[in-house]
Amino acid sequence: MVPTQAMELREFAENILFATRLDEKLCDPGLITDEHPGPALATPESPGRPSDLQFKDQAQGKSRFPGVAHLENAAVRGRVLHFFANHELLATELMALVLLRFPDAPPAFRRGVLQTLRDEQHHTRLYVDRMRAFGISFGELPVSGFFWRAVSRMENPMDYVAGLSLTFEQANLDFAMQFGQAFQQVGDSETATLLDGIYHDEIAHVAYGLKWFRRWKNPDESDWSAYSRQLKFPLSPRRARGMLLNTAGRQAAGLDPEFIANLAVFSQSKGRTPNIHLFNPFTEGHIAHGRSFSPGKHPSSLAVDLANLPQFLCDEDDVVLVTRRPAVAFLSGLKQAGFLIPEFVELDASQKNPEAPPAHHAQRKVGILRPWAWGPDSMEILRPHFVHVTGESRRPEERFHPGLAALYSKTWSAQVLREFIAQRRLSHGPEDWLCPESVVGVAAASPDAARALIDSIRDRGHARVVVKEALGLAGSNALRLWEPTLSQAQLRWITTSLQNGREAVVEPWLERVIDFSAQLEMGPKHLELRGFTTLINDARGQYEGNAAAPDHRQRLPTRVTRLLSDSPDAPRDLPTRVHSLFHDLFQFLQPRLANAGFLGPLGIDAFVYRAEDGRCRLKPVVEINPRHTMGRLTVELMRHTCPGTHGLFRLVNRSALRREGFIDFPALARSLAEHHPLQRAGEPVARIREGAVCLTDPDSAQVCLAVFHASRQPLPSP
């Protein structure tokens, strides 16, 4: 029976919030007045509900949403509508709560909430009636209380419009449209029409929330910035969109282009515990020099330019810590290229100052911590997260310690190679295609020892010698000695490099023919090969890029085995022997890494060189890098390519930019887009088949741009 006299808004809201019968929750008395709002209500733990609509226990896990697949099945359609009905009922209850929580809110705001609440009641009734046609009764499936837990903690009306109107109702702009089209495609016009009506109601609801949000926010702050800041975890802008972003609906609701563009590329985990990634390329310098280490202006600029690269190593739900979030337009381009966009979190006081209280994101549970390299720098930055790690049991002191620091040393790499060659000789006898121990580097701890080693190498017939700091930044940690005598400047370099107990590795300079790398992952039990790449270096041995062939995950670059086989007396099965050698090398390394407590990515640089007799020989270990490398990044990028595709990862610096005839990085990016447009193919997920894509932002690049090329044919070196 419909009451003949007006009902107070407070009584109406209380009935909806605390009723334990569905018909009471969905009852509309007609005339409602708001003359006696009453005192503010404390938020109850949960709304009143019939027994069959009580929230399922969180320990049961997330309910599986049926999605758009198999909608031709009537029972699946009923389950979809059951999910939607619960969402509408939750919205009804939360709107009743906001009326009771904030009796002093502006009367116009309260009237708008009432009207929206009535719409949600109507939507719930529509869903309940329609699902019966598919043999589903409301309450026969488990229902989630996530909406309630996420929004009911609101402290002011601004929390409400941000959390419900601009988040869950905004997401329904996507779901209502997508599912309306999907129901239409399976011939269910009645449900499609129902969803179309709800879709248009949701546009009005989002517009209503946006109006009040703009009225209450700081007028000097953008809608996006204010909205992102207003949301409280576990809410995030990621919850405000569905699987397909409906731009037209958002425009109709009044959301501005900047807001929509930011939402399109925003990412945050919606349930899976995220991993945290960090680009910290200076670990060796921090190990070698301690707190006094400073990378210098150019390397620091390079690190800023490349800070987003870990995004290509992680999943969409993961977090990448950066000093500055990448531009929305740049991320939009990457998304259009098929790359997942993780959540970017800007480093703040909690990372720059260990004494500062941890930022909110640093208090979230995380799966694992995955810096580019474990070292003193990443330990300090990631320290706030240690207590929240759930994906591994290592204590903080096990992530980095002196034993792991030793693995970064070129001294250790040389020792591993020397021991491996000795063992190999015992098990396989002499192998002409494998380098002798005499070309393996030897450690020097003093200038006198270094000079003695240089003389010894030259006495053996090697006119050219290289001295490498055992620890140091790539590109500035080696001294190449071409002249027969040491200059004063060279002596000073050696003396400075060996200060404070540091070491250097002295070895013959070999005529490299091809550089390549093996990329591996050390797990709790096994060292696993992830792939081989060709290394591209300039004449001075400076890194320029990596190339990967279609079969890179299992096989060495073809040119490696071809060069080693290019000898009249080379055994016919030499390619098999070379692959076997690397298998043995990985087995040799595994217990040594395990004994050091190492887990994570590992790269082994190697090369083929031409010896004095003109034959090619293999040096299977040049450096062992116990961290991510650009080679590993290349291997991960290849996961985004079609089968049969060749890949080339490049770091283009300003010198290379000028050589290629471009005035700046944006000019190079425009040329790549014009002459090497990205082509994608494949089902159900399209992958890169041809073309080039900038992996870092050319508009903000200072000294370097990362580019990935894909082709059906082998790509030439830069």
For residues 122 and 257, membership in a common domain is answered with: yes
- Over the stretch 375-384, which tens digit does the pLDDT of each residue have? 999 999 999 9
pLDDT higher than 70, residue 11: yes
For residues 485 and 628, membership in a common domain is answered with: yes
Domain finish residue from 265, 287, 306 = 265
| DSSP codes, 584-640 | HHHHHHHHHHHHHT--EEEEEEEEEEE-TTS-EEEEEEEEEESS--HHHHHHHHGGG
For residues 376 and 520, membership in a common domain is answered with: no
Give the whole-angstrom CA distance, residue 147 versus residue 154: 12
Average pLDDT, the chain: 91
Q: Is 127 domain-assigned?
A: yes
| DSSP codes, 248-277 | HHHHHHT--HHHHHHHHH----SSSPPPEE
Q: Is 377 domain-assigned?
A: yes
pLDDT of the residue at 465: 94
| DSSP codes, 155-205 | -SHHHHIIIIIIIIHHHHHHHHHHHHHHHHHTT-HHHHHHHHHHHHHHHHH
Mean local confidence (pLDDT), 352-370:
65
Q: Is 2 domain-assigned?
A: no
For residues 447 and 383, membership in a common domain is answered with: no
Given pLDDT bands bounded at 50, 70 and 90, which one contains residue 372?
A: very high
For residues 392 and 424, membership in a common domain is answered with: no
Single-letter amino acid code for the residue at 589: L
Mean local confidence (pLDDT), 548-571:
92
pLDDT higher than 60, residue 192: yes
pLDDT of the residue at 437: 94
- Over the stretch 406-464, which tens digit does the pLDDT of each residue have? 999 999 999 999 999 999 999 988 899 999 999 999 999 999 999 999 999 999 989 99
Least reliable range by pLDDT among 45-59, 79-93, 273-287, 441-455: 45-59
Choose among 680, 671, 697, 681: nearest CA to 333: 697
Peptide bond into 234 cis (omega under 30): yes
For residues 295 and 164, membership in a common domain is answered with: no
pLDDT higher than 80, residue 358: no
Q: What percent of the chain has pLDDT over 70?
A: 95
Q: What percent of the chain has pLDDT over 90?
A: 79
Give the whole-angstrom CA distance, residue 261 versus residue 484: 62
Q: Which helix (H) or strand (E) holds 649?
A: strand 646-653
Backbone angles phi, psi at 321, to 5 degrees: -85, 130
Give the whole-angstrom CA distance, residue 162 versus residue 599: 42
Give the whole-angstrom CA distance, residue 565 versus residue 466: 28
pLDDT higher than 70, residue 397: yes
Choose among 511, 536, 512: nearest CA to 715: 536
* CA 454 and chain centroid, separation: 45
Given pLDDT bands bounded at 50, 70 and 90, which one contains residue 291?
A: confident
Mean local confidence (pLDDT), 331-347:
92
Q: Is the dihedral of CA 621, 622, 625, 630 positive or negative?
A: negative
Q: Is the dihedral of CA 634, 637, 643, 644 positive or negative?
A: negative
pLDDT higher than 90, residue 217: yes
Domain finish residue from 640, 663, 691 = 640
Mean local confidence (pLDDT), 184-190:
94
Q: Which domain holds residue 100?
A: 52-265
Would strands 369-371 and 276-278 be described as parallel, antiparallel, or unpaired? parallel
Given pLDDT bands bounded at 50, 70 and 90, which one contains residue 352?
A: very low
For residue 638, CA distances in Å to 337, 338, 554, 644 come to 13, 12, 13, 10
Q: Which helix (H) or strand (E) holds 114?
A: helix 107-132
Given pLDDT bands bounded at 50, 70 and 90, which one contains residue 196?
A: very high
Q: Which residues contact 333 (CB under 8 A, 6 or more apart)?
A: 693, 694
Would strands 276-278 and 527-537 be described as parallel, antiparallel, or unpaired? unpaired
- Over the stretch 299-320, which tens digit does the pLDDT of each residue have? 999 999 999 999 999 988 899 9
pLDDT of the residue at 62: 58
Give the whole-angstrom CA distance, residue 36 versus residue 55: 32
pLDDT of the residue at 356: 43
Q: What is the domain-level CATH number for residue 220?
A: 1.20.1260.10
pLDDT of the residue at 269: 63
pLDDT of the residue at 565: 92
End-to-end Cα, the chain, rounded Å: 81
Q: Is 169 domain-assigned?
A: yes
pLDDT of the residue at 347: 87
pLDDT of the residue at 17: 95
pLDDT of the residue at 567: 80
Q: What is the DSSP letter of 383?
A: G
Q: Is 366 domain-assigned?
A: yes
Q: Which residues contact 99 (CB under 8 A, 6 or more apart)?
A: 9, 10, 13, 110, 113, 114, 117
Mean local confidence (pLDDT), 115-127:
96
For residues 371 and 308, membership in a common domain is answered with: yes
Mean local confidence (pLDDT), 158-185:
95
Q: Are 34 and 6 in contact (CB under 8 A)?
A: no
- Over the stretch 470-526, which tens digit does the pLDDT of each residue have? 987 765 688 999 998 899 999 999 999 898 889 999 999 999 999 999 999 999 989
pLDDT of the residue at 243: 85
Between 631 and 525, the more confident residue is 631
pLDDT higher than 70, residue 274: yes
Give the whole-angstrom CA distance, residue 546 versus residue 543: 9
- Over the stretch 675-702, which tens digit does the pLDDT of each residue have? 999 999 988 889 999 999 999 999 999 9
Q: Which residues contact 298 (CB under 8 A, 6 or more apart)?
A: 703
Strand residue runs (E) in 421-559: 442-444, 465-469, 478-481, 504-508, 511-522, 527-537, 543-548
For residues 190 and 110, membership in a common domain is answered with: yes
* CA 345 and chain centroid, separation: 11
pLDDT of the residue at 155: 94
For residues 83 and 152, membership in a common domain is answered with: yes
| DSSP codes, 550-600 | TTTTTS--HHHHHHHH-STT--TTHHHHHHHHHHHHHHHHHHHHHHHT--E
For residues 496 and 626, membership in a common domain is answered with: yes
For residues 550 and 506, membership in a common domain is answered with: yes
Q: What is the domain-level CATH number for residue 628?
A: 3.30.470
Give the whole-angstrom CA distance, residue 130 versus residue 373: 55
- Break the chain down into helix, strand, coil percent, rounded to 5: 45, 15, 35
Give the whole-angstrom CA distance, residue 151 versus residue 327: 30
pLDDT of the residue at 63: 61
For residues 569 and 636, membership in a common domain is answered with: yes
pLDDT of the residue at 294: 87
- The two tokens of residue 326 are 């990448």
pLDDT of the residue at 394: 87
pLDDT higher than 80, residue 60: no
Q: Is 39 domain-assigned?
A: no
Q: Is 569 domain-assigned?
A: yes
pLDDT of the residue at 317: 85
Q: Is 694 domain-assigned?
A: no
Tally of structural domains, the chain: 3
Would strands 276-278 and 319-322 be described as parallel, antiparallel, or unpaired? parallel
Given pLDDT bands bounded at 50, 70 and 90, which one contains residue 234?
A: confident
Domain finish residue from 375, 397, 419 = 397
pLDDT of the residue at 2: 47
